[in-house]
């Protein structure tokens, strides 16, 4: 059951994802789609060397239930989402998409991100598939497959090229680090189409990730990009994760966090004549919520790309953002996390403003000190129970505990103090507790951290 996670199915090739299990996943997903009235599935995969094998196992499972398959080949994850919204020539409808990807995990991992009828397939739906497989695993069998190849990647590139025609002849050179993931399959061609000068690092897909781990939220993975920017006097840099649904934006003197990007995008939306409604996760800074509420409305919600996609549609907000670099645009786009689209929206920030002007917007906000996200080992069985026990402790804290103004329970416990806040939440995907603290000074943030972790230890 450990491979059936909150937002996707993910495990180690052959150890967790073998022929019979992946065949069974395909069969049960096909049965579920048929129940919902769907008849066709688009499938693509990332650069991992075992992705073609998983496609073979999965497509046979799907074909055992007689569904139509549209094969997209090697693509970024956003192209799989795009296939559900784009009208392809001679295709009436595509009802679901499955992206075979291990995202930013090490090379031995792979998995499946699933969308049905434009809705993320996650949470209880994924666990239900796991329980069905736990009760009955089908033996792999070859079936006659109804597969049509579609060039979703080129359609996507054309869409981005047309959508961002205002970026043609962009005045700054851009450095890209694709991390040997699949981002380079699309973004390099879009920039060439728009006559944007760029330096591309590790743009060729290689599922062994020979240069660095493809996770731009980890500072050490940005070393190559920063060096290339400095050595070549390039003022803007963008890094992508392995399947291109997360990004990091760097300028000459600044690395923009996900919540800071949300503020900048909100201001652009306001300039476009809309009062921005923006969703952030519980880990986002108080500054983000304060600044967005000055010009629009900020909504705090649960961490997790599936959670945010659902909340975005429920509220019809313009944008959602995670600290990790998942950005979801819903004002000129379709409401899913797409790092390639988001990176072009990021370049728009510099169309009418200098790089220093954009940096100064962030630097002008009240300064808060934030601890990095830290993880505390737990277990799948205990992690949520620990949060429940911590909530009881916080309802009657020790006399020397800092004054509590509020406790937000949207996702874990975000405890609001007079000069900051602390968060402890159970991860939905791994057996850990995630912590983050923010305050007006480093000393206060450390104090809040010590006090909350002390209660956690108890």
Report, as residue numbers or ranges, the catalytic residues.
Answer: 103
Cα 409 from Cα 394, distance rounded (Å): 12
CB 287 within 8 A of CB 368: yes
28 CB-side CA count, 13 A = 23
CB 254 within 8 A of CB 359: yes
Provide Rg for the chain, Cα atoms: 22
| H helix runs in 317-400, sequence order | 339-348, 355-363, 383-395
Cα 366 from Cα 359, distance rounded (Å): 14
Cα 351 from Cα 171, distance rounded (Å): 8
Q: Please work out, in degrees rounded to the nearest 5, the angle formed at the alpha carbon of residue 395 by the alpha carbons of 393 and 399.
A: 75
Bridge partners of residue 248, in order along the sequence:
239
Residue owning tokens 């961002």: 164
Closest CA to 228 of 189, 171, 176, 190: 176
CB 221 within 8 A of CB 211: no
Residue partners of 385: CB distance under 8 A and separation at least 6: none
CB 162 within 8 A of CB 84: no
Residue owning tokens 């070393």: 223
Cα 364 from Cα 367, distance rounded (Å): 8
The pair of three-digit structure tokens given for residue 290, joined into one six-digit string: 């304060």
Bridge partners of residue 423, in order along the sequence:
414, 436
Q: Please work out, in degrees rounded to the nearest 5, the angle formed at the alpha carbon of residue 139 by the alpha carbons of 135 and 142.
A: 140
């Amino acid at each position: 059951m450990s491979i059936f996670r909150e937002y996707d199915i993910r495990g180690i090739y052959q150890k967790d994802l073998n022929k019979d299990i992946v065949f069974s996943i395909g069969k049960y997903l096909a049965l579920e789609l048929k129940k919902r009235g769907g008849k066709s599935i688009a499938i693509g995969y990332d650069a991992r060397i075992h992705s073609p094998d998983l496609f073979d196992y999965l497509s046979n499972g799907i074909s055992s239930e007689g569904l139509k398959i549209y094969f997209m080949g090697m693509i970024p994850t956003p192209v799989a989402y795009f296939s559900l919204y784009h009208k392809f020539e001679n295709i009436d409808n595509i009802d679901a998409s499955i992206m075979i990807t291990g995202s930013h995990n090490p090379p031995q991992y792979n998995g499946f991100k699933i969308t049905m009828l434009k809705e993320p397939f996650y949470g209880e739906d994924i666990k239900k598939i796991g329980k069905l497989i736990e009760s009955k695993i089908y033996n792999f069998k070859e079936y006659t497959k109804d597969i049509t190849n579609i060039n979703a990647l080129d359609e996507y590139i054309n869409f981005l090229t047309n959508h961002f025609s205002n970026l043609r002849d962009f005045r700054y050179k851009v450095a890209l680090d694709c991390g040997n993931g699949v981002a380079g399959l699309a973004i390099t061609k879009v920039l060439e189409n728009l006559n944007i000068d760029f330096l591309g690092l590790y743009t060729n897909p290689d599922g062994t990730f020979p240069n660095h781990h493809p996770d731009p939220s980890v500072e050490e993975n940005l070393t190559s990009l920063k060096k290339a920017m400095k050595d070549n006097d390039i003022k803007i840099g963008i890094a992508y994760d392995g399947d291109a649904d997360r990004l990091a934006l760097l300028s000459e003197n600044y690395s923009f966090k996900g919540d800071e990007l949300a503020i900048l995008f909100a201001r652009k939306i306001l300039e476009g004549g809309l009062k921005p409604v923006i969703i952030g996760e519980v880990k986002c800074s108080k500054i983000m919520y304060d600044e967005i509420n000055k010009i629009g409305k900020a909504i705090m919600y649960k961490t997790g790309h599936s959670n945010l996609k659902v909340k975005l549609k429920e509220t019809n907000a313009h944008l959602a953002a995670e600290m990790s670099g998942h950005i979801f645009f819903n004002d000129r786009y379709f409401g899913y996390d797409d790092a390639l689209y988001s990176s072009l929206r990021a370049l728009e920030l510099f169309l009418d403003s200098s790089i220093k002007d954009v940096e100064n917007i962030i630097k002008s906000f009240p300064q808060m000190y934030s601890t990095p996200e830290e993880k505390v080992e737990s277990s799948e069985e205990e992690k949520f129970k620990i949060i429940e026990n911590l909530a009881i402790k916080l309802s009657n804290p020790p006399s020397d505990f800092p004054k509590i103004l509020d406790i937000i329970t949207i996702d874990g416990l975000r405890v609001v103090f007079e000069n900051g806040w602390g968060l402890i939440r159970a991860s939905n995907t791994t057996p850990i507790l995630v912590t983050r603290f923010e305050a007006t000074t480093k000393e206060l943030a450390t104090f809040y951290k010590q006090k909350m972790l002390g209660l956690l230890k108890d």
